[in-house]
A and B are shown apart, each in its own frame.
Chain A
Amino acid sequence: MPDLKTAGPFIALIAIFLIGVLVNDAFLSTGNLSNILARSSFIGIVAIGATFVITAGGIDLSVGSMAAFISGCMILLMNSLLNTMDSILAIILLAILASIAIGAIAGLINGLLTTRARIEAFIVTLGTMGIYRSLVTYMADGGTLSLSFTIGDLYSEVYFGTLLGLPYPVWVFLGTAIVGYVILNMTVFGRHCFAVGSNESVARYSAIHVDRVRTATYVLQGICVSIATIIYVPRLGSASGQTGILWELEAIAAVIIGGTVLKGGYGRIWGTVVGALILTLIGNILNLTDAVSNYLNGAVQGIIVIVAVYLQRGAWRKN
Chain B
Amino acid sequence: MNGASTDNDSVLLQADKLSKSFGDVEVLHDISLTLHAGEVRAILGENGAGKSTLVKILAGFEQPSNGQLLYQDWNGHTSSIKGWQAEEAEANGVVLIHQELNLADQLTVSENIFLGQELRRGLFLDKRLMDRKSAEYLDALRCKVDPHARVGDLSVSAKQLIEIARTRAKRARILIMDEPTAVLTRQESDVLYELIARLSAEGVAIVFISHKLEEIERIADSITILRDGRLVGNYAAEGLSREDMVSLMVGREIGDLFPAKRLPVSQAPSVLEVKDLQVRGTETSCSFSLQQGEILGFSGLVGSGRSALLETVVGLRTPTGNPPGTVAVFGQPVRIRNLEQARELGLAYLTKDRKGSGLLLEKGLAFNFSLFALEKFSHGVIDRKKEQDAFYKAVSNFDIRIKDTKLAAGSLSGGNQQKLLLAKVLEAEPRIIVIDEPTRGIDIGTKSQIYHFIAALAASGHSVVVISSDIVEIIGLCHRVAVMFHGRLTGIVEGEDINEEEIMAYATGLKDQQLSATDKLTATGAQ
By a beta-carbon cutoff of 8 Å, the part of chain A in contact with chain B is: 182, 186-188, 191-192, 194-195, 198-199, 201-202, 204-209, 265
- A205 adjacent to B381 (CB under 8 Å): no
Counting chain A CB atoms within 10 Å of each CB, the highest count among B340, B361, B362, B370 belongs to B362
- Measured in the bound complex, the distance between the Cα atoms of B362 and A187 in whole Å is 20
By a beta-carbon cutoff of 8 Å, the part of chain B in contact with chain A is: 316, 338-340, 342-343, 349, 351, 353, 356-363, 367, 370-372, 374-375, 378, 380-382, 424, 428
B residues less than 8 Å from A265 (CB atoms): 360, 362-363
Counting chain B CB atoms within 10 Å of each CB, the highest count among A188, A199, A206 belongs to A206
- B340 adjacent to A209 (CB under 8 Å): yes
The 3 tightest CB contacts between A and B, nearest first, are A207-B339, A186-B381, A207-B340
- Known A-B contacts A187-B380, A188-B382; the reply to A204 vs B362 at CB < 8 A is no
Instruction: Give the distance to chain A from B238, nearest Cβ to Cβ, in Å.
Output: 46
- B382 adjacent to A194 (CB under 8 Å): no
- Measured in the bound complex, the distance between the Cα atoms of B370 and A206 in whole Å is 10
- Measured in the bound complex, the distance between the Cα atoms of B375 and A194 in whole Å is 15
Instruction: Give the distance to chain A from B328, nearest Cβ to Cβ, in Å.
Output: 21
A residues less than 8 Å from B380 (CB atoms): 187
- A202 adjacent to B338 (CB under 8 Å): no
- B374 adjacent to A191 (CB under 8 Å): yes
- Measured in the bound complex, the distance between the Cα atoms of B381 and A186 in whole Å is 5
- Measured in the bound complex, the distance between the Cα atoms of B357 and A199 in whole Å is 8
B residues less than 8 Å from A194 (CB atoms): 363, 367
Task: Give the total number of A-B pairs whose CB atoms are below 8 A apart.
Answer: 65
- Known A-B contacts A182-B381, A191-B382; the reply to A205 vs B358 at CB < 8 A is yes
Instruction: Give the distance to chain B from A195, nearest Cβ to Cβ, in Å.
Output: 6
- The DSSP consensus for interface residues of chain B is mixed
Q: Which one of B349, B363, B375 contacts A205 once the chains associate, using CB atoms below 8 Å?
A: B349
| Complex: chain A residue closest to B311, CB-CB | A205
Instruction: Give the distance to chain A from B235, nearest Cβ to Cβ, in Å.
Output: 41
A residues less than 8 Å from B360 (CB atoms): 195, 198-199, 202, 265
- Measured in the bound complex, the distance between the Cα atoms of B357 and A208 in whole Å is 12
- Measured in the bound complex, the distance between the Cα atoms of B375 and A232 in whole Å is 38
| Complex: chain B residue closest to A265, CB-CB | B362
- A202 adjacent to B357 (CB under 8 Å): yes
- A186 adjacent to B382 (CB under 8 Å): yes
- B357 adjacent to A191 (CB under 8 Å): no
Counting chain B CB atoms within 10 Å of each CB, the highest count among A198, A202, A207, A209 belongs to A207
- Measured in the bound complex, the distance between the Cα atoms of B371 and A186 in whole Å is 13
- Measured in the bound complex, the distance between the Cα atoms of B343 and A265 in whole Å is 24
A residues less than 8 Å from B378 (CB atoms): 187-188
Instruction: Give the distance to chain B from A187, nearest Cβ to Cβ, in Å.
Output: 6
| Complex: chain A residue closest to B340, CB-CB | A207
- Measured in the bound complex, the distance between the Cα atoms of B471 and A201 in whole Å is 28
Q: Which one of A182, A205, A209 contacts B351 once the chains associate, using CB atoms below 8 Å?
A: A205
- B382 adjacent to A209 (CB under 8 Å): no
Instruction: Give the distance to chain A from B339, nearest Cβ to Cβ, in Å.
Output: 4
Q: Which one of A188, A192, A207, A209 contacts B342 once the chains associate, using CB atoms below 8 Å?
A: A207
Instruction: Give the distance to chain B from A271, nearest Cβ to Cβ, in Å.
Output: 18
B residues less than 8 Å from A201 (CB atoms): 353, 356-357
Q: List 18 other contacts, CB 8 Å, given A205-B316, A206-B372, A265-B360.
A: A187-B381, A187-B382, A188-B374, A192-B374, A194-B363, A198-B360, A198-B363, A199-B356, A199-B361, A202-B356, A202-B360, A204-B339, A204-B357, A205-B358, A207-B339, A207-B343, A207-B372, A208-B340
- A207 adjacent to B338 (CB under 8 Å): yes
Instruction: Give 17 pairs: A residue, B residue, CB < 8 Å, sorted on A.
Output: A182-B381, A186-B381, A187-B378, A188-B378, A191-B367, A191-B382, A194-B363, A195-B371, A198-B363, A199-B356, A199-B361, A202-B356, A204-B357, A205-B351, A206-B372, A265-B360, A265-B363
